[in-house]
Structure 1
Amino acid sequence: MAKKGKPRPDHRPPAHNPHYAHDPPPYSQQQPPLQQQNYAQQMHHGGGGGNRQHARPRPSPPSEVSDCVKYSLFLYNCIFWIVGLFFIAAGIWAFHDRGVFNEFQSLSTNEVSFLTDPVIWLFVLGGVVFMLGTLGCLGALRENICMLKCFSIIMGLILLLEIGGGCAIYFYRAQIQAQFQKSLTDVTITDYRENADFQDLIDALQSGLSCCGVNSYEDWDNNIYFNCSGPANNPEACGVPFSCCIPDQASGVANTQCGYGVRSPEQQNTFHTKIYTTGCADMFTMWINRYLYYIAGIAGVIVLVELFGFCFAHSLINDIKRQKARWAHR
């Protein structure tokens, strides 16, 4: 039998006493080991285990460049580009139909024919519109500030010329009309037969407006082919172009010889029944007054379309600058 003695002292640690500073904190409040912390962080970010989950990429902030403005400007300039290409193609076709090498030789020796040639103005207009469309299309797609600035500068100059020209015509219309009539008399009458395309343009103007000459039918006396002092064997002497003739409604066929000798003394009493006697300058003024509101409306629409292109280009330039500034501050 074991001897009964004094009970052995209990060496177990006492219960946790919150007032005892040297007691360790409860297990729930203890920090996990460093390896456990790393593992928990790895699992939280999807870095370990068979059920690994990839972290979603951080969404990028929206771009400062407006897609609406960008592609609206692109489509806007596509129309310009197509119209300019059409004008250039029409000029090339007209040159080919006329004989391009002979035409270049005549243009180099006749400055007046060069300035009054409609085909040359087709090339000039088509080239300017085509260049504008190319700058706008490439500048919008590539977001190129240099191209967009060139486009906006050219468009701004065109707007200034149109607005300034309209104001000058309105305030100085009497002086401009007098000078315009004198220039038309010197150019259209004298050079009527020098250029086939220019001749067709004058004929279309006289037939469309029902007029003859610039100021009156007597203006055709300044042309060497219709002058009354020309050769006696010339059938066109003392006459006018066939586009000055009043059409015969019964036959409906244009008579290209109807203007021969109508201004001769023998036909002084009957010529007014055969040809138009009013000048094209007066008829053109009457036509403008008749359709003034329509002309003003069309001109206003054209200015607004050009103004929209100018504003779109500036808006896109500012968007690109803001986007570049954001990239620079990253």
Structure 2
Amino acid sequence: MGCGEFIVKYILFFANLFFALAGLVLLGLGVAAQLQIKSLGDMLAAVADGQLQIAPITAMAVGSVVFLIAFFGCCGAIRESHCMLVTFAIFMLVLMVIKIALATVIFVGMERVLAEIPKWLGDAFASDVNGFHEIEKTFKCCGPNGALSYGRIALPETCCASSPCLIINAYSGCNAVLNDFFSTFGLVIGIVAIVVGAIELVAAVFGLCLANHVRNKYRRSRY
């Protein structure tokens, strides 16, 4: 193996280690966001019509697939298997398209989700105030729009970090807190998807180059 092929082989190997870690990051972010959404309970999940769960579930699925394919790519690079390398390159190109689609859906769809959050929280607060306390406890917020959402009613303990719970030490409104949470989550997922997608394109090219070298070496060995 020449110097160029040796470099490509190990660049591909270490690139796949990066993909494996990136896949775990996507998986971890998806799990963390899903746990946060699950903690909101069935009340908000019902009024949101499942839209809040699309991005976390997609991130978990894509992260798991990326991790498995990266492991497959590492084996193909080390063993110099033409079949495994070509299969890996095809998967990389497919995943790149999926990453771009995921980033597009997140960046385009997130605006609609953020615009709907005040309505979802308002409906949840109006239908079940006691159930809304779980949202306040999870996200450390108070009412849809802050302490004034409760009017003349005494503030619940979930609205404050310490007792007694008063307007002066109450958390911010849940509208603003959840808006920041989903904005940050969407931005991080979108950026990770774009960066990984770009590197996947390079890895696919390297994989095809190495596969071509392996095929040529096999042909030369037969003569």
TM-score bracket for this pair, using the shorter chain length: 0.5 to 0.7
1:182: how far off?
A: 0.8
Matched with 1:38 is none
Aligned counterparts of 1:166 and 1:116: Cα–Cα separation in 2: 14
Matched with 1:161 is 102
| Higher alpha-carbon Rg | 1
C-alpha deviations, 1:240-281, integer Å up to 9, x for none? 442323x5xxxxxx33xx45xxxxxxxxxxx644645x6333
3-state SS of 1:158 partner: helix
Tell me which of 7, 14, 32 is aligned to 1:72: 14
Q: 1:124 to 1:167 in 2, by over 3 A?
A: closer
Aligned counterparts of 1:124 and 1:135: Cα–Cα separation in 2: 16
1:141 aligns with 2:71: no
Aligned counterparts of 1:79 and 1:189: Cα–Cα separation in 2: 43
Aligned counterparts of 1:76 and 1:192: Cα–Cα separation in 2: 46
Contact 1:181 1:214 in 2 (8 A): yes
1:299: how far off?
A: 7.1
3-state SS of 1:138 partner: helix
Superposed, 1:80-229 pairs within 5 Å as: 80=22, 82-83=24-25, 112=46, 115=50, 125-143=59-77, 144=84, 145-167=86-108, 173=111, 177-187=114-124, 190=127, 199=134, 202-207=136-141, 212-217=142-147
Higher helix share: 2
Per the normalisation by structure 2, the TM-score is: 0.58
1:121: how far off?
A: 8.6
Percent identical residues: 14
1:279 aligns with 2:173: yes
1:302 aligns with 2:196: no
Structure 2, unpaired ranges of 5+: 36-40, 78-83
Contact 1:88 1:122 in 2 (8 A): yes
Q: 1:243 to 1:127 in 2, by over 3 A?
A: same
Aligned counterparts of 1:299 and 1:83: Cα–Cα separation in 2: 9
C-alpha deviations, 1:33-84, integer Å up to 9, x for none? xxxxxxxxxxxxxxxxxxxxxxxxxxx6667471232122222133245547
1:284: how far off?
A: 6.5
CA RMSD of aligned residues (A): 5.1
Aligned counterparts of 2:52 and 2:64: Cα–Cα separation in 1: 20
Contact 2:27 2:60 in 1 (8 A): yes
Superposed, 1:44-83 pairs within 5 Å as: 64=5, 66-80=8-22, 82-83=24-25
3-state SS of 1:214 partner: coil
C-alpha deviations, 1:70-129, integer Å up to 9, x for none? 1222221332455477679989xx8xxxxxxxxxxx99xxx74995999x9977744542
Q: 1:164 to 1:217 in 2, by over 3 A?
A: same
1:133: how far off?
A: 0.8
Aligned counterparts of 1:131 and 1:89: Cα–Cα separation in 2: 15
Contact 2:52 2:113 in 1 (8 A): no
Aligned counterparts of 1:139 and 1:193: Cα–Cα separation in 2: 51
Matched with 1:315 is 205
Matched with 1:48 is none
1:242 aligns with 2:179: no
Letter in structure 2 aligned against 1:70: L
